[in-house]
Amino acid sequence: MTNSGQTNAALNLDEDVEMNQHQEENLPDKIQITQTNQNALLYSVDDVPPWHLSCLLGFQHYLMMFGGTISVPFILTPALCIEENDPVRSAIVSTIIFVSGIITLLQCTLGVRLPIVQGGTFAFLVPTFAILNLPEWKCPAPDIMANMTYEDKTELWQLRMREVQGAIVVASVFQFAIGVFGIVGLILRFITPLTIAPAIVMVGLSLFGAAGNMAGKHWGISGLTIFLVIVFSQYLKNVKCPLPTFRKGSGWGVKKLDIFTLLPVLLSIVLVWTLCAILTVSDAFQTGSPARTDNKINILYEAPWFRFPYPCQ
């Protein structure tokens, strides 16, 4: 505003104060918009990534579920009286991966098509251990198992496997009946998220010892893997890496890709495994160290390369 052609400094000061107050009021909205843009999804539910990127994302998803899926048989095999050097461990692992793939394909094509992988669950481990810890299912002493034949050892773990399978079948029948007759709606009146959440937490805490034992075989490699996953997914998520590309007509070019946002787990596993391979070749790890990449290479020679799991085995 002007007064006889001269600017009124007091009025300008008031306008500046009002403008600053208005900007401060809108500041949280701007911060929220900025944070939303930073945390925006690269691909929504309806978007289709390129086929080569889809292969990498699918392989990373497989690696993420791979650890949780194969952890179930690795945790159960000692309770099933299966020795560490027994090739049947690879058969059990291949069976659970094969069946998980079939169930996932059926769920994604004929089922509700949720973007998840169907696999083993740790929720069954607690009741399974409760069954196998009964006196009649205790494993024999190591010196007794050392003198047993291969057929006797096979019958030993298959008896326990059938006992666990029978318990899971009965539990599945109850679960099927609860879903078919709509009992879930009645149960949810009494079982709320306040009761479900602590139950899930207790299941996870009960398996903390098994995860600690597996990671504790070499805390250096385990800690490095955890560190890389955290750095890639949390601190380098906004860093774009230039990658060479080729297109018809335009030729070679450079495209920046959010590789740390898309593939944090895959990058961590590849880098740590490469490091372990180098340290294995250079004999930096002692013979028999769990961090060596050739520690159980004999299983590859003893286990069959192709195996088709048949039903009810």
Q: How many structural domains are present in the chain?
A: 2
| 121 and 183 share one domain | yes
pTM, full prediction: 0.60
**Placement of tokens 């590309």 in the chain:** 245
| 204 and 287 share one domain | no
Domain membership of residue 2 (yes or no) is no
Enclosing domain of residue 230: 218-294
Residue at which a domain ends, from 215, 248, 265: 215
Domain membership of residue 161 (yes or no) is yes
| Tens-digit pLDDT profile for residues 277-289 | 999 999 898 888 8
Domain membership of residue 21 (yes or no) is no
* Residue ranges in the chain whose pLDDT is less than 70: 1-40, 67, 206-207, 210, 311-313
DSSP-H helix ranges across the chain: 9-38, 51-76, 88-109, 125-132, 142-146, 150-180, 183-187, 193-206, 208-215, 219-230, 259-262, 264-281, 298-302
| Tens-digit pLDDT profile for residues 15-30 | 454 455 555 455 444 4
| Tens-digit pLDDT profile for residues 63-77 | 777 767 877 888 888
Length of the chain: 313
**Placement of tokens 């047993």 in the chain:** 148
Query: Residue by residue, what is the 3-state secondary structure of 106-141?
Result: HHHHCCCCCCCCCCCCHHHHHHHHHHHCCHHHCCCC
| 86 and 170 share one domain | yes
Domain membership of residue 23 (yes or no) is no
Which residue type occupies 307? R
| 199 and 55 share one domain | yes
| 211 and 225 share one domain | no
Any long-range contacts for 305-310 (C-beta under 8 Å, 24+ apart)?
A: 307/91, 307/94, 308/98, 309/94, 309/95, 309/98, 309/99
| 78 and 169 share one domain | yes
pLDDT given at position 207: 67
| 97 and 207 share one domain | yes
CA distance 141 to 147: 10
| 197 and 272 share one domain | no
Which residue type occupies 278? I
| 228 and 116 share one domain | no
| 71 and 199 share one domain | yes
CA distance 250 to 246: 8
| 63 and 202 share one domain | yes
